[in-house]
Amino acid sequence: MAKKQFKAESKRLLDLMVNSIYTHKEIFLRELISNASDAIDKLYFRSLTDDSVNMKRDDFFIRILADKDTRTLTVSDNGCGMTPEELEANLGTIAKSGTRAFKAANELGDDIDIIGQFGVGFYSAFMVSSDVKVLSRAFGAEKGAVWESTGEDGYTIRECDKESVGTDVVLTLKADTDDENYSRFLDEYTIRELVKKYSDYIRFPIKMLVEKSRKKDGSDEYETYFEDDTLNSMIPLWRRNKSDITAEEYNGFYKDKFYDFEDPLLVIHTKAEGAVSYNALLFVPQRPPYDFYSKEFKRGLQLYSNGVMIMDKCEELLPDCFGFVRGLVDSADLSLNISREMLQHDRQLKVIASNIKKKIKAELEKLLADDREKYEKFFKAFGLPIKYGMYAGYGVDKDFLKDLVLFYSAKQSKLITLKEYVDAMEENQTDIYYACGDTIEKSLRLPQTELVRDKGYDILCMTDDVDEFVIKLLEGYEGKPFKSVAGSDLDIASEDEKKAVAEKQESSKAILDKLKDALDGKVKEVRLSSRLKTSPVCLTSDGVITVEMEKVLNAMPMENGARAERVLEINPSHPVFETISALDDDEKIKLYAKLLYNQALLIEGLPIDDPVEFSNNICLLMTK
Ligand code: ADP
pLDDT digits (tens, 9 = 90+) for 333-352: 776 545 555 565 578 888 99
**Hey, what amino acid is at 608?**
I
Q: Which of 412, 409, 417 is nearest to 372 (CA)?
A: 417
What is the per-residue pLDDT for 111? 41
User: CA separation (Å) from 547 to 73, 368, 473, 561?
Assistant: 69, 33, 17, 13
Of the segments 9-13, 44-48, 355-359, 395-399, which one has the largest average pLDDT value?
355-359
Task: Report the alpha-carbon angle 624-538-499, nearest 5.
Answer: 110
Sheet holding 144-151, edge to edge: 154-160, 144-151, 129-137, 166-173, 72-77, 62-67, 206-215, 222-230
Q: Which of 167, 75, 84, 73 is nearest to 129 (CA)?
A: 73
Q: Which of 380, 388, 550 is nearest to 473 (CA)?
A: 388
User: CA separation (Å) from 441 to 376, 446, 466, 561?
Assistant: 19, 9, 18, 29
Ligand 1 within 6 A of 166 CB?
no
- Looking from the CA of residue 169, the nearest atom of ligand 1 is 23
C-alpha to C-alpha distance for 283 and 254, rounded to whole angstroms: 7
pLDDT digits (tens, 9 = 90+) for 598-617: 999 998 888 898 999 999 99
Q: Which H or E element spans position 529?
A: none
Of residues 93 and 230, more confidently modeled: 230
Collapsed DSSP state (helix, strand, coil) of residue 608 = coil
Half-sphere exposure of 421 (CA within 13 A, CB side): 33
What mean pLDDT do residues 579-591 have?
90
Residue 398 has pLDDT above 80, yes or no: yes
Scored b (16 or more CB within 10 A) or e, 455-482 reads: eebbbbbbbbbbbbbbbbebeebeebeb
List Cβ neighbours of 301 (8 Å cut-off, separation of 6 or more): 280, 282, 313, 314, 317, 318, 325, 326, 327, 328, 329, 356
C-alpha to C-alpha distance for 492 and 509, rounded to whole angstroms: 23
For the CA atoms of 345, 348, 349, 355, the dihedral, rounded to the nearest 10 degrees, stands at 130
Banded pLDDT at 271 (limits 50, 70, 90): very high
Ligand 1 within 6 A of 487 CB?
no
Interval between CA 510 and ligand 1 midpoint (Å) = 81
List Cβ neighbours of 253 (8 Å cut-off, separation of 6 or more): 201, 237, 281
What mean pLDDT do residues 175-199 have?
92
C-alpha to C-alpha distance for 325 and 359, rounded to whole angstroms: 12
Backbone torsions φ then ψ of 393, nearest 5 degrees: 55, 40
Interval between CA 113 and ligand 1 midpoint (Å) = 22
Residue 516 has pLDDT above 80, yes or no: yes
What mean pLDDT do residues 560-577 have?
87
Q: Where are the alpha helices (DSSP H) in 340-417?
A: 340-345, 347-370, 372-395, 398-401
What average pLDDT does the chain have?
Answer: 88
Q: With beta carbons less than 8 A apart as the criterion, state whether 105 and 261 touch.
A: yes
What is the per-residue pLDDT for 609? 86
pLDDT digits (tens, 9 = 90+) for 421-462: 999 999 999 999 999 988 999 889 888 898 899 889 999 999
Backbone torsions φ then ψ of 33, nearest 5 degrees: -70, -40
Q: With beta carbons less than 8 A apart as the criterion, state whether 213 and 197 touch.
A: no
Q: Which of 1, 381, 338 is nearest to 159 (CA)?
A: 1
Q: With beta carbons less than 8 A apart as the criterion, state whether 486 and 532 touch.
A: no
Banded pLDDT at 114 (limits 50, 70, 90): very low
Of residues 217 and 62, more confidently modeled: 62
What is the per-residue pLDDT for 112? 41
Q: Atom 15, ligand 1: which residue's CA is nearest?
A: 90
Q: Is 346 exposed, middle or buried (0-12, 13-18, 19+ CB in 10 A)?
A: middle
What mean pLDDT do residues 355-367 have?
97
Residue 395 has pLDDT above 90, yes or no: no
What mean pLDDT do residues 127-142 have?
95
pLDDT digits (tens, 9 = 90+) for 549-565: 887 787 776 656 678 88
Ligand 1 within 6 A of 80 CB?
yes
Q: Which of 295, 334, 302 is nearest to 317 (CA)?
A: 302
Ligand 1 within 6 A of 35 CB?
yes
pLDDT digits (tens, 9 = 90+) for 289-313: 888 988 889 999 998 877 766 778 8
Of residues 539 and 165, more confidently modeled: 165
Helices 372-395 and 467-474: crossing angle, nearest 10°? 70
Collapsed DSSP state (helix, strand, coil) of residue 310 = strand
Half-sphere exposure of 89 (CA within 13 A, CB side): 6
The answer to which of 25-29, 60-64, 261-265 has the lowest mean pLDDT is 25-29
What is the per-residue pLDDT for 48? 86
- Length of the chain equals 624
Ligand 1 within 6 A of 508 CB?
no
| Chain centroid, CA 106 distance in Å | 19
What mean pLDDT do residues 511-524 have?
92
Residue 96 has pLDDT above 50, yes or no: no
Query: In which region does residue 328 sit, left (phi positive, over 0), alpha (psi from -120 to 50) or beta (all else)?
Result: beta
Ligand 1 within 6 A of 167 CB?
yes
C-alpha to C-alpha distance for 419 and 405, rounded to whole angstroms: 10
What mean pLDDT do residues 91-116 have?
50
Q: Which of 6, 118, 122 to mutate to test the pocket of ligand 1 (most atoms within 8 A of CB)?
A: 122
**Hey, what amino acid is at 105?**
A
Ligand 1 within 6 A of 407 CB?
no
Of residues 169 and 100, more confidently modeled: 169
C-alpha to C-alpha distance for 168 and 73, rounded to whole angstroms: 10
C-alpha to C-alpha distance for 210 and 304, rounded to whole angstroms: 33
pLDDT digits (tens, 9 = 90+) for 518-533: 998 899 999 998 888 8
C-alpha to C-alpha distance for 502 and 512, rounded to whole angstroms: 13
C-alpha to C-alpha distance for 538 and 619, rounded to whole angstroms: 22
pLDDT digits (tens, 9 = 90+) for 139-175: 999 999 999 999 877 899 999 999 999 999 999 999 9
List Cβ neighbours of 1 (8 Å cut-off, separation of 6 or more): 156, 158
Strands, DSSP E only, in 516-584? 525-528, 537-542, 565-570
C-alpha to C-alpha distance for 59 and 553, rounded to whole angstroms: 60
Termini Cα distance of the chain: 90
Interval between CA 35 and ligand 1 midpoint (Å) = 5
- Looking from the CA of residue 77, the nearest atom of ligand 1 is 23
What is the per-residue pLDDT for 552? 79
What is the per-residue pLDDT for 344? 56
Ligand 1 within 6 A of 121 CB?
yes
Q: Which of 35, 124, 135, 255 to mutate to test the pocket of ligand 1 (most atoms within 8 A of CB)?
A: 35
Interval between CA 339 and ligand 1 midpoint (Å) = 26
What mean pLDDT do residues 301-326 have?
86
For the CA atoms of 496, 499, 500, 504, the dihedral, rounded to the nearest 10 degrees, stands at 170
What is the per-residue pLDDT for 124? 86
For the CA atoms of 285, 10, 197, 257, the dihedral, rounded to the nearest 10 degrees, stands at 30
β-bridge partners, 330: 279, 304
Residue 11 has pLDDT above 90, yes or no: no
